Structure 1
């Protein structure tokens, strides 16, 4: 995929499958362990690194923001959460292997804030704490980004048994990315590696990378990193942002919601029994005219269809006095009920 295609995908750079194959050959799992990718995309590389190590139990954990990519990843990742990594609550010091290929863009600036930070460093600092001491990290970013003062200093302080390789020739020109493999140091006090720091700072130059950074393909058969054993069940791994779809069933079964639905259900008009008070002629006419008595009555040979109809007319009356004649007009309501018999005969009750 071209750089343009990746930019359209908002910083999503999937690691090429070939580079994943090379990476897998550089790893040796010493026992059962969980592995983690905080921006796993469709999960292909994470799943590839986790499989084929029987009888070792390698359990994969992934987080992905994009819904479509997360749906694909959920089919092949043991435990997948669709959420922003910023919302995740995860146990510290639990994963034997961290696969880190963060988005290549800047953070969003909030109202009233100035400046942005590159996500490569933010995700590096955030996710290193989830790696067990002595755990292995694979960090994939654009080559020149290793020269960032924050990234280079962090890597030179927090990691040992380090290897830096560029993508093999088949992919490097398209991606311009390098791979950092290192083991998280043990203990609170960590010695800064000046030589490593200066090497990373020099990676700002493409000429330096071409002459001093080996291809990952050259590591095959020359170096292998051991991934340490750890408990495959991570105690805490969830998002503070709940998925709305998870609430649907709970809401449907909620007693309060069911009671609300019952109270707001449209009422059905039922005719039958004795009225509480006598119904006036005009009221009866309205009931009939509105079709309240419409319906099918009886069964079998006694089945009847009933329809009520109201007709309205004006009736004039006159009153005479010594000086004038007064004419009054009133509304007259007549009721008619039609009954259709099973034979098709229609009876009209006036």
Structure 2
């Protein structure tokens, strides 16, 4: 819900192409790997960053997008793109060589008695788990949001080889966004860097940002972040929320549905072999008359095509009743008359009818 609200208030803004080009020149892919964007939009930024890299390496691109239209577009540009909220995803930890993180700028929904955390912080923590040790995080948020103490402390603890940059001048005034680029630390113990924390917490001031945060284009050609070799296939990458399109096929292929269909089929009575108990002539006649044993019967010379038919008619009869005084009362009674007609064809082709 929070991301929907964010779209209503701010709309969808993809990273400008010029900014993507600057970032591309700051990345040095070392070999085969996979990269991830948890809010990938139409997939343009990952496509831009990985297109035209070294011909001898394979870079798989993974994206998640909550908007259906943009997710369909992303499927054209990315190796794997899913239409789902990132909160519903199940993804392997420590697997991607690079994560591009441009989260929604909003509060997450919480219960009345819980404190609502900012999405920028929640997504930073969540998606750092998916980044491999020594992998590169590119984190893009409004400049003043870096001053949030939780965000600043997390970045100062979990990353080294850090660069803090702002959009180049042609786009900064429109977007007011900055980049944090860093390498994820490995191991359980991660040393906190107070200098990074202090710098980030001062970014609430626009004056500080303009004076102390380097425009990204000024760093091009002076430094690069090495994106490490890693897996090109992420085996665990799916959403817990199944799309409606998959329901139909899933139901059709389920064992329960197949059993239901078998039980729903019209049944035909097939008689063959020896009956469980001997049948009286009257019972056989009823089976023939009702059509229950229409069809082919017997074997060899006794192989016949048999059809039974019950003919029902109304018959009126007079009943005489002698009264106590000796007089006679005549009463007409209508009864139902049932007759059995059986036709069969002999192996020689002769048609016989039994009435």
TM over 0.5: yes
- Residue deviations 1:33-84, cap 9 Å, x none? 1101111111100111122111111111111111111101011110112111
Q: Do the aligned partners of residues 10 and 248 (structure 1) sit closer, same or farther apart at CA in structure 2, a change above 3 Å counting?
A: farther
- Residue deviations 1:130-183, cap 9 Å, x none? 111111100000110000010000011111111111111111111110011001
Task: Give the 5 Å matches for 1:1-350.
Answer: 7-8=7-8, 12-53=12-53, 54-110=55-111, 112-254=112-254, 256-257=256-257, 260=260, 275=309, 277-280=310-313
Distance in structure 2 (CA, Å) of the matches to 1:254 and 1:147: 53
- What is the CA-CA distance between 1:257 and the residue it aligns to? 3.3
Distance in structure 2 (CA, Å) of the matches to 1:72 and 1:140: 22
Given the two structures, how large is their TM-score scaled by the length of structure 2?
A: 0.71
- What is the CA-CA distance between 1:7 and the residue it aligns to? 4.8
Q: Do the aligned partners of residues 258 and 236 (structure 1) sit closer, same or farther apart at CA in structure 2, a change above 3 Å counting?
A: closer
- What is the CA-CA distance between 1:12 and the residue it aligns to? 3.5
Distance in structure 1 (CA, Å) of the matches to 2:186 and 2:260: 58
Give aligned pairs, total. Answer: 273
- What is the CA-CA distance between 1:224 and the residue it aligns to? 1.1
- Unpaired runs of 5+ residues, structure 1, are 1-5, 282-350
Calculate the aligned-residue CA RMSD, in Å: 2.5
Distance in structure 2 (CA, Å) of the matches to 1:11 and 1:152: 26
- Residue deviations 1:214-264, cap 9 Å, x none? 111111111111111112111211112222311312323446535646776
Which residue number corresponds to residue 324 of structure 2? none
Distance in structure 1 (CA, Å) of the matches to 2:142 and 2:206: 11
- What is the CA-CA distance between 1:201 and the residue it aligns to? 0.4
- What is the CA-CA distance between 1:16 and the residue it aligns to? 1.1
- Residue deviations 1:261-286, cap 9 Å, x none? 6776899xxx99755x44457xxxxx
Check conservation: 1:121, 1:151, Cα contact below 8 A: yes
Q: Do the aligned partners of residues 188 and 255 (structure 1) sit closer, same or farther apart at CA in structure 2, a change above 3 Å counting?
A: closer
Distance in structure 2 (CA, Å) of the matches to 1:184 and 1:256: 48
- Residue deviations 1:276-300, cap 9 Å, x none? x44457xxxxxxxxxxxxxxxxxxx
- What is the CA-CA distance between 1:185 and the residue it aligns to? 1.2
